[in-house]
Amino acid sequence: MKVMTMVQAVTDALDIKLTEDPTIVTFGEDVGVEGGVFRVTEGLQKKHGEHRVFDSPLAESGIVGSAVGMAMAGLRPVVEMQFCGFVYPAFNQIISHAARIHNRSRGRYKTPMVIRFPYGGGINALEHHSESMEILYAHIPGLKVVVPSTPYDAKGLLISAIESDDTIIFMEPKRIYRAIKQEVPEEKFTIPIGKAKVLSEGTDVTVVAYGAMIREAQKALALAKKDGISAELIDLRTIYPIDRETIAQSVKKTGRLVVVHEGPTTFGVAAEISAMVEEDVFQHLEAPVTRVTGFDTIVPLPRGEHHYIISPEKIYYGIQKSVRY
């Protein structure tokens, strides 16, 4: 075991896979010499060579599109997009090719690639540096979307993502890149994609969250506990394929559900979970599903961001609303 931040855990996962599998390359803007703007790839070029860890020209479509080509030719590229808000120029390559090559070629070609990038607010950044756009990818047939919430999960999930033969969108909550330290095994381990985790058991209400919202939800659960409310917390870990079974089982028990995410409310992950819960355990619901989610607005610049960001109190407010319904 070694105490790691999420950044270190991601670096460690990349290092292990680069060492183990010569078909893996990782590249993107500033990924090589500098080690990425968040230093996630720091030291990897020195260790694994310039042909395996490298800077690309500054062009997102070029990065993802060339990774598609590499994957078709037998490599397993892991590409970094600098920020969630910078991915958009690559959408055509992600949606039209990375998500479809296997289907289009009836399995002759596959795209075992990972597109990883930091997402989410709370870091006092410029415009386009704070959004949570997981839903855009979760909606696209052919993609899988993974969001870790801890250093341990980041390592295990990223290794699974790199080993997957499908295209994986791997979104890293940059707000907790260095905020959480945790003991993480130094050796290789994997966490299955598509499986949620019950972080704490409870009987009165189920709270589903992921990424940076897990830490906020845990604080909210502590507030609820003081007031005698027993909440069950589920970390989704993977947005798609979504683990509806774990959510359904929990709601069967508690009868109440609060879903938390940073991204906009309307047509969001919480909306989809709400529909699923209604389909699966309608008769067990004792209250409408409560969404504690972002406004349908742009994330404000730093001076206004506190209005947008979801606090533990706001999550607890949602929990109370559900429990008192």
Partner 1 sequence: MFKEFSPLEDKLFQVMDKDGEIIAPEWMPEISEERLVKAFKDMLFARTADIMAVSYQRQGRMFTYPPNFGQEAISGGMAIVMRDQDWLVPAFRELGAWLAKGASLRDIFLYFMGYEEGTVFRGANNMVPISVPIASQIVHAAGIGYAINYNKKDEVVYAVVGDGGTSEGDFAEGLNFAAVWNAPVVYIVQNNQFAISVPFKKQTRSINIAVKGIAFGVDSIKVDGNDLFAMTKAVQVAHEHAASGKGPVLIEAVTYRRGAHTTSDDPTKYRTKEEEESWACYDPIDRLRKYLVKKNLWDESKEESLISEYKKEVDRQFEAAENYAPYPLEDVFKYLYVDMPDDLKVQKVEHEKFLKWKEGLK
CA distance readout (Å), 205 to 230, 278, 290: 7, 16, 11
Residue 105 or 311: which CB sits closer to partner 1? 105
Helix (H) / strand (E) element for 144: namely strand 143-146
Residue 200 binds to partner 1 (criterion: CB under 8 A): no
For the CB of residue 255, give the shortest distance to partner 1 in the complex, in Å: 24
- Nearest CA to 122 among 55, 66, 193, 174? 174
Residue 307 known to be catalytic? no
Residue 18 binds to partner 1 (criterion: CB under 8 A): no
Residue 70 binds to partner 1 (criterion: CB under 8 A): yes
Strands (E), 177-297: 182-184, 197-200, 205-209, 231-235, 238-240, 257-264, 290-294
Tell me whether the omega of the peptide bond preceding residue 77 falls within 30 degrees of 0, making it cis: no
Do 257 and 231 form a contact (C-beta atoms < 8 A)?
no
- Nearest CA to 142 among 173, 182, 98? 98
Segment contacting partner 1 (CB under 8 A): 90-98, 126-134, 171-179, 228-236?
Answer: 90-98
Q: Which residues of 73-100 are buried (b: 16+ CB within 10 A; e: fewer)?
A: eebbbbbbbbbbbebeebeebbbebbbb
The residue from 97, 116, 174, 291 that contacts partner 1 (CB under 8 A) is 97
For the CB of residue 123, give the shortest distance to partner 1 in the complex, in Å: 29
Segment contacting partner 1 (CB under 8 A): 69-77, 123-131, 174-182, 298-306?
Answer: 69-77
Do 6 and 155 form a contact (C-beta atoms < 8 A)?
no
Structure token digits, residue 178: 């260095």
DSSP 176: G
SS3 for 270-295 is: HHHHHHHHHHHHHHHCCCCCEEEEEC
For the CB of residue 294, give the shortest distance to partner 1 in the complex, in Å: 25
Residue 75 binds to partner 1 (criterion: CB under 8 A): yes
Residue 161 or 229: which CB sits closer to partner 1? 161
For the CB of residue 96, give the shortest distance to partner 1 in the complex, in Å: 5
Residue 282 binds to partner 1 (criterion: CB under 8 A): no
For the CB of residue 99, give the shortest distance to partner 1 in the complex, in Å: 8
SS3 for 39-55 is: CCCCCHHHHHCCCCEEE
Residue 25 binds to partner 1 (criterion: CB under 8 A): yes
The residue from 42, 89, 223, 314 that contacts partner 1 (CB under 8 A) is 89
The residue from 17, 35, 87, 102 that contacts partner 1 (CB under 8 A) is 102
Please identify which of the residues 48, 102, 129, 261 carries the catalytic annotation: 129
Do 44 and 26 form a contact (C-beta atoms < 8 A)?
yes
Q: Alpha-carbon distance 126 to 111, whole Å? A: 33
- Nearest CA to 115 among 170, 194, 48, 38? 170
The residue from 19, 103, 124, 311 that contacts partner 1 (CB under 8 A) is 103
Residue 61 binds to partner 1 (criterion: CB under 8 A): yes
Residue 19 or 297: which CB sits closer to partner 1? 19
Residue 29 or 262: which CB sits closer to partner 1? 29
Residue 223 or 276: which CB sits closer to partner 1? 276
Would you give the binding string for partner 1 spanning residues 131-170, x where CB under 8 A is met?
Answer: ----------xx-x-------------------xxx----
CA distance readout (Å), 13 to 31, 161, 231, 296, 300: 15, 10, 32, 35, 33
Which sequence positions are flagged as catalytic?
A: 129
- Interface with partner 1 by CB under 8 A: which residues? 25, 51, 56-57, 59, 61-62, 65-75, 77, 89, 92-93, 96-97, 101-110, 112, 141-142, 144, 164-166, 194, 240-242, 244
